[in-house]
């Protein structure tokens, strides 16, 4: 039996620390325990295989994770043009809109969308327009660094993940199972 919240929330996880996407995944795991249907649309990820994709398959159809990005913008081996990144971000938001308005889901996670906005790939106005269309009892989570003040004003719940200590500082790189 699905038990919906009375209020749909706009939740933002931002900041430079680890745990933003991870917290959104945890929220998805909790929500499906209540019988919710959850979709995560990944805005920057899409070129690398993350372990959460395999886990999500075990929770289908209640959880789906859809990578629609072209990889992180201007870091690592970024082979795409600005235009390709922009097109991917806009397409991801339009796809998310069809999900939100389909009446098939209770929670939508827009993973790394804040990065897409803060790096200029996705106009903030399009994201605010998206949020204007949110059904009252529908929940949206927006993750990524650099959430703009307008989005924070608009959100119901905002947590900043602050990096206090990171193993990269000791020269240890991303670890399988932990980071991806």
Interface residues toward a second copy, by CB under 8 A:
3-7, 9, 11-15, 17-19, 21-34, 36, 50-56, 58-59, 106-107, 139, 152, 155-167, 170, 172, 175-178, 180
Nearer to a second copy, 9 or 80 (CB): 9
DSSP assignments along 31-71, one per residue: HHHTT--EEEEESS--SS--HHHHHHHHTTTTEEEEE-S-S
3 state SS of 10: strand
Tell me whether residue 63 or residue 121 sits nearer to a second copy (CB atom).
Answer: 63
How close are the terminal C-alpha atoms of the chain, in Å?
Answer: 33
Query: Minimum distance between the CB of residue 114 and a second copy, rounded to whole angstroms?
Result: 13
From the CB of 18, what's the least distance to a second copy, in Å?
A: 5
Closest separation between CB of residue 106 and a second copy, Å?
7
d(CA 82, CA 160): 28
């Amino acid at each position: 039996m699905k038990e919906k919240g009375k209020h749909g929330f706009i939740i933002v996880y931002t900041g430079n620390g680890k745990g933003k996407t991870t917290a959104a995944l945890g929220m998805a795991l909790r929500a499906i325990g209540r019988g919710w249907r959850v979709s995560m649309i990944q805005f920057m990820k899409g070129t690398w295989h993350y372990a959460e994709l395999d886990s999500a398959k075990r929770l289908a159809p209640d959880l789906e994770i859809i990578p629609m990005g072209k990889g992180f913008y201007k870091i690592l081996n970024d082979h795409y043009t600005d235009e390709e990144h922009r097109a991917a971000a806009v397409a991801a938001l339009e796809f998310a809109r069809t999900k939100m308005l389909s009446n098939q889901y209770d929670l939508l996670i827009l993973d790394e969308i804040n990065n897409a906005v803060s790096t200029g790939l996705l106009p903030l106005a399009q994201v605010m327009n998206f949020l204007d269309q949110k059904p009252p009892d529908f929940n949206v989570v927006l993750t990524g660094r650099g959430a703009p003040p307008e989005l924070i004003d608009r959100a119901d719940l905002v947590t900043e993940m602050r990096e206090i200590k990171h193993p990269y500082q000791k020269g240890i790189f991303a670890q399988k199972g932990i980071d991806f």
